[in-house]
Amino acid sequence: MDAPVEKESSGRLEYSDEDVADNQGPTVEASESIDAKKTLRQMDYRVIPIVTVLYLLSFLDRGNIGNAKVQGMEEDLELTGNRYNLAYTVFFFPYALLELPANLLLKKLSPSIWLPSIMVAWGLVTTLTGIVQNYHGLIAVRVMLGVAESGQYPGCAYYLSTWYAPQDLGFRQGMFFSAAALAGSFSGLLAYALAQMDGVGGLAGWR
């Protein structure tokens, strides 16, 4: 800090600009940093839970065929030989091929329209799984599910990038992606609860 300089003409002490700045308290930059952290927390509370639950539900929908197999789907639909493996795998062909076109539609329609729309679409397709009567119907439903879910993960990833700066995005992407592990941790419990409804409404438990 520069020492105060006394002028002989007035007898007053005059201070340099550095002296004044040192006694002003928090700077504008510090206040802006506090506001930015507060805004970031608000975004975390409002954005992350929504996209995480969205991914959680999609992961449950695509993986519930495994639980359905255990509960009798394989016998009811006569999934002999490699039929079950093919029904499981066929989901990923449209899922992988349509990711890029789905993101182009996302940019054109906006996330507020696109993401809820595909969520409704894959929910309807998943419901149709409960009424299939044969192997070919199951294949058709799995292909439609792959089409409906193809824009979900890249769409949510793009959506997060519109909210967060690059230095903040990685951690939030990790939180979002952790929904896959969360889905696997309790999907079995959910399947067990649904299996107890076997025969309700004249339907098998896997339906």
Check if the beta carbon of residue 49 is closer than 8 Å to that of residue 42: no
pLDDT reading at 82 higher than 60? yes
Helices 48-68 and 28-46: crossing angle in degrees, nearest 10, is: 30
Residue 80 lies in a domain: yes
User: In the predicted model, what is the mean pLDDT of residues 15-39?
Assistant: 58
Residue 62 lies in a domain: yes
- 126 vs 8 pLDDT, higher one: 126
**Distance in angstroms (rounded) separating the CA atoms of residues 50 and 44:** 10
Number of compact structural domains in the chain: 1
What are the structure tokens assigned to 33, written together?
């940093």
Report if residue 203 sits inside a domain.
no
Q: In angstroms, rounded to a whole number, what is the distance separating the alpha carbons of residues 14 and 90?
A: 81
**Residue 161 maps to a domain:** yes
Residue 152 covered by a domain: yes
Question: Dihedrals φ, ψ of 4, to 5°?
Answer: -60, 145
The answer to the question of residue 100 being in a domain is yes
Q: How confident is the model at residue 199 (pLDDT cuts 50, 70, 90)?
A: low
Instruction: With respect to residue 206, please indicate whether it lies within any of the assigned structural domains.
Output: no
CB 122 within 8 A of CB 152: yes
- 31: confidence class by pLDDT, cuts 50, 70, 90: low
Task: Please give the pLDDT value at position 188.
Answer: 72
The more confident residue out of 24 and 206 is: 206
The pLDDT, as a whole number, for residue 170 is 87
The pTM of this model reads 0.75
The C-alpha atoms of residue 195 and residue 182 are separated, in whole angstroms, by 20
Q: Which domain holds residue 154?
A: 48-197
> Helices 166-177 and 179-195 sit at what angle, rounded to 10 degrees?
20
pLDDT digits (tens, 9 = 90+) for 121-163: 988 998 888 888 899 999 999 999 999 999 888 888 888 888 8
The answer to whether residue 12 sits within a structural domain is no
SS3 content of the chain, % helix, strand, coil (to 5): 75, 0, 25
Average of per-residue pLDDT values in the chain: 79
pLDDT tens sequence across 87-108: 999 999 999 999 889 888 888 8
Q: Binning pLDDT at 50, 70 and 90, where does residue 173 land?
A: confident
Check: CB of residue 61 under 8 Å from CB of residue 145. Answer: yes
